[in-house]
Structures are given as structure tokens and as C-alpha cells.
Amino acid sequence: MDPIRQLRKATTGKKPIELFKDGDATDNIKDATHASFGSDDKYALDELTNFYNEDQRQLLRAVIFCWMHDKSSIVDYKNACLENGIPDFKFLVKAELTTWLSGSSDSCQFVKEDEASGQAGDAADDNEKKRKLEDPQMARIEKYQEDSVDHNSALRGSKNIVFKNLISDAKRFSSQLKRSKSSRPSSSNGTGTAASKKLPIIIISPATTALLSLANIKEFLEESRFVEPNVSTMKRPETGVVTINHVSDKLAPSAHSIMVVDNVDMFTKPEYWDRVVAIITTGQAWQFAKYKYSKPEVLFQKYPGFFIAYQNDVVPKQIKDWNVNVVRIDRGEKRFRDKMIIRDLWIHLEKILVGRGYGAQE
């Protein structure tokens, strides 16, 4: 059986994954040569699996490493891959693989059957037919047999249905719906359609120890360049607001500009909180004293949170407890990596924006 399916049996059954080097257990996947999944059987980490990335079969080592970083942010995962010399997978590929390995999904589009599996299935069918011919009782039982189907098969049915003829109707309906929404008056409470047309908001910490402030956030998000914080030379804008421009075909025009603030005293209406798409914290709870939800455990269930830290710096325990994404940046000598790190951050932010109604509409 393909090792990736044995791996899934272990991950869904909560069995341990053990790594070995020359027969001895090890925690270093870079040096390990074999792995076992809750049994005595060992699989070579450099063995090709039926998991495909960009139409290329991937080594068992890369698949296991991806699973080991299931809970890591995409930036942390890619940095770990770089440090260990292991190929990394894009965000969507990583998400689908780990979802399948966890048992939350019954299928993964990147896992394909090999020829051996197909031949084994054919052999099993031949054996079943032979057994029915030799045993008359089987023929009688077969009359009352019903084939079981999973929920995917049941929903799809037995025939492929082509919906091309409905595309024009769907486009016409979508166009009518847009015109209908644009003709409605804005709601008084600032929510719904009215809110989605106003600029989204990111809140950052006003702490002087924060790596990102209103003084350097524009260079960071607009120019993909991290400027080391310097209180003596960097000044906070008097308005208390910085506007970030980020044009993307995935986002509606209203989200091509994003407001960044470090003070919520200006949030005089409930609608402002409807526009918040992310909160960047330093891990200090006092930051949330005047927020809509002052308890961080509740706050970060409602709004996505981010923590910015240097590589190799210790992340405070509460950051993990609060379910906050960690974004690591390099110190001065590795500024060339900023673009990759901030690109991945924007991928995450765009997904959040689309989920909050700021996606582009056709």
C-alpha cells in the first residue's frame, strides 16, 4: 500500500509518527532515513508517494514534514522547509493535504491512485466473481444485496450533469442582484452592504516595543520592506491613521485601500468593528482594554490576529493560547527575504478580506 495511505491511517487514528536514522530513533527529519506510523513497519523517507504537487510525485519526507507543521502559519512552515532543505507546498495544497490526513476530508485532489492499486482492485473483483460461481448460496444472497455509497457519490448521482446552459441565467440573475443592491439606501447601523463598501480596517498595537507601528507599517505592507523601528527618528502620523494601497484582482475596489489605526477611541459607531479584518498584537492584554471584546480569548475568535516577531525570538505563551498567527521577519542582514514573507502575509490577508465580503465580483 502507498505509504501516504498508511500515514493517513496513523494520523486519523492518532498514532505516533516515529523517525529513524540507521535504526535509531531521531527527532531530526532532515537526517532521518525512515519513518514508522504506529507499527513495526518502516518506510523510506525518500520514497515517492502518490501525493502530487505541480504534477510531480512528492517524497514521503515532504508529506510528513507538511503534516508536522499542520498548525504552523504558512510563513513558519516555508521557513522550516528552507532550513531543512525540504520542498514546500503552497498554502492551498498544504491545507488540503493536512485536512485529508486529519480525517476531516474523505478525499484529496492531489492524491492519485497508482497502477498497482488498480490492478489489485481488478484482482479482487475477479476473485469475488469466482467465489460466487463456486458457491450457489452467494447468488441467492446477492439478490438482496445493496451497494453502499458514500455521501459524495450520493450527491453526484450516476450521471454527469452539465450546467453550461445555466451560466447565462446565473450571470443575468447576478447582474440584476447587483443593480438591486446598488439601488437600496444605506442601512442606518452601517452594516451589510453599506459596510462592505467602506474601507476595511487593520488595528495595530500602540506599544513602543511593537515591531510594526503607524510609522513603518506603510513600507511593510505597501513596499514589502521592513524598516527597523526607531522611536527617536520615526514619528507617528498626527491623524492616527495610515492608508495602505494594495490592488488585487481578488478584491473589490473598496478593499484596494485599507485603513490602519493603533487607537480605537475613534470607533464612535458599531459599524467600525464590522470593518475590522485583522488585529496585530504584541501579546500585551492591555491593548484590548477599549476593544469591543476586551478578553483576547474571545477577541481572536471574532477577528484574525497576528503577532510579528524576529526569527528565533521566543513567542510568548499567550500568543499560542489566543490562536494568533505568528509572522516571523529577519533581522537587518536578511532584508532580501522581506518580499517573500510579506507576499505570503498578503495571501492570508486577501483570503480574510474575501471571507468578510470584500471579494471581487464578476
In the chain, list all ranges with CATH 3.40.50.11990. Answer: 201-356
DSSP SS3 for 188? coil
CA–CA–CA angle 70, 14, 109 (5° rounding): 50
Question: Check: CATH 3.40.50.11990 for 201-356?
Answer: yes
Specify the pLDDT at position 193. Answer: 46
The per-residue pLDDT for 286 is 93
In this prediction, residue 240 carries a pLDDT of 84
pLDDT digits (tens, 9 = 90+) for 109-142: 888 876 444 444 445 555 555 555 556 666 667 6
Which pLDDT score, from 0 to 100, does residue 185 have? 47
Residue (of 47, 70, 73, 69) closest to 60 by Cα position: 47
pTM of the model: 0.48
Please spell the DSSP secondary structure of 208-258, one letter per residue. Answer: TT-SS-TTTHHHHHHSS-PPPP-TTT----TTSEEEEE---TTB-GGGSEE
What does R_g of the chain's alpha carbons equal in angstroms?
Answer: 26
3-state class (DSSP) for residue 112: coil
Q: Which residues of the chain, if any, have pLDDT below 50?
A: 115-122, 152-153, 159, 185-196, 362
Read off the C-alpha cell for 337. Answer: 527575504
Give me the phi and psi of 309, to 5 degrees please: -145, 155
